[in-house]
Chain A
Amino acid sequence: MTSDGPVCISVINMKGGVGKTTVAALLGRHASLAGLKVLAIDLDPQANLSQAFMGDQYKQFLADKKPSIVELFNGFRPPTPTTRLPTSIDVEDVMVSNTSLGGRNLKLIPSRFDFSDQLIDAVRPDQRVLANVIADSSEDWDIVLIDCAPTESILTRVAYQASRYVLVPVRPEYFATIGFPLLKDSLDDFKGRNRGHTIEVAGIVINNSSYHYSGNRGGPERRRSTIEIKREGQKNEWHIFEQEIPFSRGFPKIMRGDFSHPGDAVFFPDFAREFFEHIGLDS
Chain B
Amino acid sequence: MSLLQFTEKGIYCERANVYIDPWKPVNYAIITHAHADHSRWGNKFYLCHHLSKPIIQHRLGGDIHIESMEYLEKKSINGVEFSFFPAGHIIGSAQVRVAYKGEVWVASGDYKLEDDGFSTPFEPIKCNTFITECTFGLPVFKWQDQKEVFEDINNWWRKNKEEDKVTILTGYSLGKAQRLIQGVDPSIGKIFTHGAIEKTNEIIRNMGVGLNETTYVTPEINKKDFKGALVIAPPSALGTSWQKKFQPFEVGIASGWMKMRGPRRRRSVDRGFVLSDHADWDGLNTAIKATECEKVIVTHGYTNIFSKWLNDQGIETQIEATEFEGEQLEATEKTDAE
A and B form one complex: no
Q: Which residues does A use to contact B, with CB under 8 Å?
A: none
Q: Which residues does B use to contact A, with CB under 8 Å?
A: none
